[in-house]
């Protein structure tokens, strides 16, 4: 995704929050509100940029997870090989699956919060997560799967 578009969306979100601060109120879950607002703003901007192309919001928007914690866990050539394998495997997930994995394990959100942010039912969030984990389990060695788990676990303590 275009870094300038991301910066523009963040700026626009904060401008909207500031200008509408008197009418918004305080949402029960501020973090979820910000994620959902930001997500919707990006989808809106991307849709505007792609007016001439078909844009399927449910599967074909870009959502990438960057795993930077692995740099501290792996040395030299092994680090590069494992990193490439993890990225390759994660890129095999659909955009919605990558987003769900990110929200669940990196941001530590509940299935209810994930459903709210992604605009789906709670049952659908469980289904997306189950399919994602099945895919990862089928496509990663036990060692790489454990490493991925450790990467997300370390995020909890940082």
- Whether the predicted pLDDT of 72 surpasses 60: no
- pLDDT for res 1: 54
Judge whether 108 lies within some domain. Answer: yes
Judge whether 16 lies within some domain. Answer: yes
Q: Are residues 81 and 120 both part of a single domain?
A: yes
Q: What are phi and psi of 37, to 5 degrees?
A: -65, -45
Give the residue-averaged pLDDT of 41-52.
Answer: 79
Expressed as residue numbers, the domain containing 22 is 3-49
- Whether the predicted pLDDT of 43 surpasses 70: yes
- pLDDT for res 55: 46
Give the residue-averaged pLDDT of 4-25.
Answer: 84
- Whether the predicted pLDDT of 65 surpasses 80: no
CATH code, 76: 1.10.10.10
């Amino acid at each position: 995704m275009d870094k300038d578009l991301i910066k523009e969306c963040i700026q626009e979100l904060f401008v909207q929050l500031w200008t509408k601060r008197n009418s918004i109120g305080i949402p029960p879950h501020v973090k979820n509100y910000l994620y959902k607002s930001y997500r919707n703003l990006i989808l809106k901007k991307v849709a505007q940029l792609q007016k001439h192309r078909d844009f399927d919001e449910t599967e074909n928007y870009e959502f990438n997870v960057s795993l930077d914690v692995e740099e501290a866990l792996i040395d030299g050539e092994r680090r590069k090989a494992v990193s490439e394998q993890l990225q390759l495997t994660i890129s095999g997930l659909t955009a919605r699956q990558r987003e769900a994995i990110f929200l669940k394990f990196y941001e530590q959100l509940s299935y209810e919060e994930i459903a709210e942010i992604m605009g789906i039912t709670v049952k659908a969030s469980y289904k997306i997560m189950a399919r994602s984990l099945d895919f990862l389990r089928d496509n990663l060695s036990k060692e790489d799967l454990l490493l991925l788990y450790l990467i997300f676990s370390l995020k909890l303590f940082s």
